[in-house]
Chains A and B, each alone.
Chain A
Amino acid sequence: MTTELGRIMHDVADNAGMRVPSGLYARARRARRRRLAALAAVTTLLIAGAIAFPGWRPSPPAPAEPGIDQLPTVLVSPPAGTAALRDAPLSRALALYATADQFLPGENSPLTVVGSDDRYREYDRPEWTFASGWTNTILLSPDGRYVLMAQWGSGDRLRSRLLDVATGDVRTLDAGAPLTWSPDGALAALVHYNGDGTSDDPVGGQITVVSMPAGRKLWQVPLTPLPGVFRELRAALSPDGLMLAVQQRDQVTAYHRDGTVAWRARVAGQLAGRAAWTPDGRRLLLSDARGRLLPLDAASGAAMAVLPGAEGVQRVGREMTPLVDVVGWRGETALAVIGNQRLYELSEPPRVLLTAPDTVYELDVATLHVGAQPRVPGVADPGPPPPFRLPGWAVALVAVAVIALLSRRRPRHVVRDWLRGV
């Protein structure tokens, strides 16, 4: 019986009377090209959107409670493909450095940020500049959470960029360019020049002490107008935040919080960094060309007995630069970066805690919540792979959606017809 079914089916089919249009081959290939072009366009748009639209970026990690991290004994060059800090923030930085090959005046100059557990990130700072000839271009907060950098606006307007390491966000502080952090990171001193501070004409200005990270102006002291005032200027805040020592050339002036002068002194060295005041606030340290520390009495500015500091230490590379930059204290012992190359514990004898790569030009190190014994570093972690850091499932979902959209068939649909090469 079913043979009869086949016969009638043939009869049905024979009476269908269908036609096939010509030019199908060219149309099929044209349709394929269009589909591929559309797929490429949509994919490009999605990728561009993923880059441009910050909401698509993964949420930065919540700032961690300050724990104790151990510094690595050695910093290395950032591995290839190291993630950008903006894309993969760290809870905080233990160290921050710029290498000589990153030191490109007038161009963007990336920084290497080193977090706990050997996590490396890069931050592509938009400009390379500093607040004075005696300060670095990068100032890491003592707890490693923030980085202060100078920003030269139009018309000699000096500001500060404040980079939050835990989010990658940057804010601008209007009070001036950064000279120093206070030892506890609660304050910062920012300078503003009343004109071109680099000119040979006498130019004055102000140093403003601001609360951090808010940037609220607290108090202000004047700069003595000097030719080339920009070139030779340093500052250090006392541990209690109630005094500010300002060095212009060979004169140090100590100011009280109310702006009055506590004392002035002629000195033979330079203020020894953000932790130049001893933790008890009784002495103010300067370093000299031999790496020695020259204390001043914080109450009067009178010179005190010289300390050996890093004198006699066998130095390498840029450590030949004698400046001792005290960045923190461990009890009565200073922690100092010397020559932007190594971090020392200035004990008897001095002990190297951390060594940066030979090519490092500027180095800063967090000293709060940092353990006493540096650890041997592990393999450097470059962070999530570039370029877009969208989770894999999101990429797959987008791809499936695009393909489904492009292959969907609806009668009399303009897009469908175009994609089919009609």
Chain B
Amino acid sequence: MDTQQAQASFEEFVAGRSAALAKIAYLLTGHREDAEDLLQAALCRAAVRWATIDDPEAYVRRILFTQSVSWWRTRKRRPPETLTDEPPTLPVAPTDQDLRLVLDDALRRLTPKQRAVLVLRFYEDLSESQTAEQLACAVGTVKSQTRHALARLRELNPHLATLVGDQPRSVVTR
């Protein structure tokens, strides 16, 4: 594959898949700007090796997940949390829009690894072993990170208990 062919193939891939990849990047970062940076960085990495990549989609996804974790360590953009003694107020019956806003906010408060695990498990609908393979970690790590992430979501907003289950079987130990 020469350079022109590689460029054409790359641009075709970006046109076809960037929307889906952008959604993953957003879920992984929680911020539009960060997500755009993350996706562009992943696509640029893929671009310089495009001619030698067998499965571009898998390659870019892998970069997204691994970079989202490593990125976060060098950034200081986790949203501040407001500490209060008041219990959260609950609307009687939250709508999907309410849940979307609540989840969007809650996801930002998870650790990058917890977010990555949730995205792979419940957005990408991968099994625990597939998730472990994507993140290059042990299945046990996926299990524990999932458990911690769901417990954290329940803690952050009781509405989310309707999404992740009411029974906090594993309480987060801090």
CB <8 Å contact, B164 and A27: no
A399-B28 Cα distance, complex, nearest whole Å: 32
Q: Specify which chain A residues have a CB less than 8 angstroms from the CB of B172 in the assembled complex.
A: none
Name the residue of chain B whose CB is nearest to the CB of A24: B43
Contacts known (A16-B32, A25-B47); A9 close to B14, Cβ less than 8 A: no
A208-B40 Cα distance, complex, nearest whole Å: 78
Name the residue of chain A whose CB is nearest to the CB of B46: A28
CB <8 Å contact, B164 and A20: no
Q: Specify which chain B residues have a CB less than 8 angstroms from the CB of A19 in the assembled complex.
A: 22, 36
Interface: B53 (CB within 8 A):
no
Name the residue of chain A whose CB is nearest to the CB of B45: A28
Q: Which of A2, A21, A27, A408 has the most C-beta atoms of chain B within 10 angstroms of its own C-beta?
A: A2
Contacts known (A4-B163, A6-B123, A18-B35); A13 close to B24, Cβ less than 8 A: yes
Q: Specify which chain B residues have a CB less than 8 angstroms from the CB of A376 in the assembled complex.
A: none
A13-B44 Cα distance, complex, nearest whole Å: 22
Contacts known (A15-B100, A28-B43); A20 close to B74, Cβ less than 8 A: no
Interface flags, B96-110, vs A, CB<8A=1, else 0: 100110011001000
Name the residue of chain B whose CB is nearest to the CB of A26: B7
Interface: A170 (CB within 8 A):
no
Name the residue of chain A whose CB is nearest to the CB of B27: A13
Interface flags, A26-40, vs B, CB<8A=1, else 0: 111101100000000
Interface: B165 (CB within 8 A):
yes
Interface: A218 (CB within 8 A):
no
CB <8 Å contact, B118 and A9: yes
Q: Which of A2, A6, A28 has the most C-beta atoms of chain B within 10 angstroms of its own C-beta?
A: A28
Interface flags, B23-45, vs A, CB<8A=1, else 0: 11111000010011001110111
Interface: B116 (CB within 8 A):
no
Contacts known (A8-B100, A9-B122, A12-B103); A18 close to B165, Cβ less than 8 A: no
Interface: A409 (CB within 8 A):
yes
Interface flags, A70-96, vs B, CB<8A=1, else 0: 000000000000000000000000000
Q: Specify which chain A residues have a CB less than 8 angstroms from the CB of B165 in the assembled complex.
A: 1-2
Nearest CB in chain A: distance from B56 CB, A: 12
Interface: A420 (CB within 8 A):
yes
Interface: B59 (CB within 8 A):
no
Query: How many A-B residue pairs lie within 8 Å, measured between CB atoms?
Result: 103
CB <8 Å contact, B44 and A11: no
Interface: A17 (CB within 8 A):
yes
Q: Specify which chain B residues have a CB less than 8 angstroms from the CB of A12 in the assembled complex.
A: 26-27, 100, 103-104, 107
Name the residue of chain A whose CB is nearest to the CB of B20: A13
Residue in contact with A25 in the complex, picked from B11, B26, B104, B119, CB distance below 8 Å: B11
CB <8 Å contact, A20 and B163: no
CB <8 Å contact, B122 and A18: no
Interface: A62 (CB within 8 A):
no
Nearest CB in chain B: distance from A52 CB, A: 34
A14-B20 Cα distance, complex, nearest whole Å: 9
Nearest CB in chain A: distance from B47 CB, A: 4
CB <8 Å contact, B40 and A2: no
Nearest CB in chain B: distance from A23 CB, A: 9
CB <8 Å contact, A2 and B100: no
Interface: A413 (CB within 8 A):
no
Contacts known (A1-B165, A12-B104); A21 close to B44, Cβ less than 8 A: no
5 shortest A-B CB distances, which residue pairs?
A13-B23, A28-B47, A28-B44, A16-B26, A6-B122
Q: A8-B103, A13-B24, A13-B123 are in contact. List 9 more A-B contacts (CB 8 A).
A: A8-B100, A9-B122, A11-B100, A15-B100, A16-B23, A21-B40, A24-B14, A28-B43, A409-B41
Task: Give chain A's interface residues, CB within 8 Å of chain B.
Answer: 1-2, 4-6, 8-21, 24-29, 31-32, 408-409, 420-421
